[in-house]
């Protein structure tokens, strides 16, 4: 069997199986260690953001990255995030939403994540004023969300 035939055979064997990434965290040159969320359904970019978005090109635009982002978003909605807590503990800092944006359904788990990890601070950017207010207003140590604006302030 040729290497191409082996790869195709392997790909066929995965059909219908549930996707689970090897790691929940992402690591790349733009966002460093981060928890990436899908852009679609999580981000409402301005025209300027759409033009400059690094999440729409390069490896972040690959189908596998999109699949992982969707998986992580669903994962953050469940009650048990022990795997993510374990994965985060050795790092000095973790960026929230390297791509995409946070939604209210992620908040409870982000607070839990920050309380469960003694070492890394978690930080992120959002265009959603209510998200920045909810996170920063709770004054949870090691959890900060900065409001991101460009030429037009967020709605």
Is 15 strand, coil or helix? Answer: coil
Residue bearing the bigger pLDDT, 117 or 21: 117
For residue 30, what are its two tokens?
A: 């733009």
How far apart are alpha carbons 89 and 93 in whole angstroms? 9
Question: Where residue 12 falls among pLDDT bands split at 50, 70, 90?
Answer: low
pLDDT of residue 119: 83
Instruction: Indicate the pLDDT class of residue 84, thresholds 50, 70 and 90.
Output: very high
Does this model's pTM top 0.85?
Answer: no
Does the pLDDT at position 85 exceed 90? yes
Round to whole Å and give the CA distance between 97 and 42: 10
State the DSSP string of the chain. Answer: --HHHHHHHHHHHHTTSPP--S-SSEEETTTEEEE---STTT----HHHHHH-GGGSGGGGSHHHHHHHHHHHHHTTSS--HHHHHHHTT-S-EEE-SSS---GGGHHHHHHHHHH-SS--EEEEES-HHHHHHHHHTT-TTEEEEE---SS---
Predicted confidence at residue 102, as pLDDT, reads: 83
Q: Name the token pair of 125.
A: 């950017």
Distance CA 145, CA 103 (A): 12
pLDDT in tens, 50-67: 777 777 777 777 778 888
Percent of the chain with pLDDT over 70: 85
**Which has the higher per-residue pLDDT, 34 or 17?**
34
What are the Cα distances from residue 3, in Å, to 6, 7, 9, 56, 95? 5, 6, 10, 31, 38
Confidence of residue 151 (pLDDT cuts 50, 70, 90): low
Cα–Cα distance measured from residue 144 to residue 153, given in angstroms and rounded to the nearest whole number: 19
């Amino acid at each position: 069997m040729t290497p191409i035939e082996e790869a195709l055979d392997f790909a066929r064997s995965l059909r219908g199986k549930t996707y689970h990434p090897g790691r929940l965290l992402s690591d790349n040159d733009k966002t460093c260690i981060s928890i990436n969320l899908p852009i679609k359904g999580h981000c409402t970019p301005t025209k300027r953001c759409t033009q400059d978005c690094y999440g729409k090109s390069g490896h972040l635009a690959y189908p596998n990255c999109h699949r992982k982002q969707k998986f992580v978003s669903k994962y953050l909605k469940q009650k048990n995030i022990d795997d993510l807590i374990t994965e985060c503990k050795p790092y000095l800092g973790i960026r929230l939403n390297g791509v995409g944006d946070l939604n209210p359904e992620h908040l409870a788990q982000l607070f839990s994540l920050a309380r469960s990890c003694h070492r890394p601070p978690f930080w992120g950017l959002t265009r959603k004023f209510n998200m920045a207010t909810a996170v920063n207003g709770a004054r949870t140590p090691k959890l900060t969300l900065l409001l991101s604006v460009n030429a037009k302030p967020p709605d």
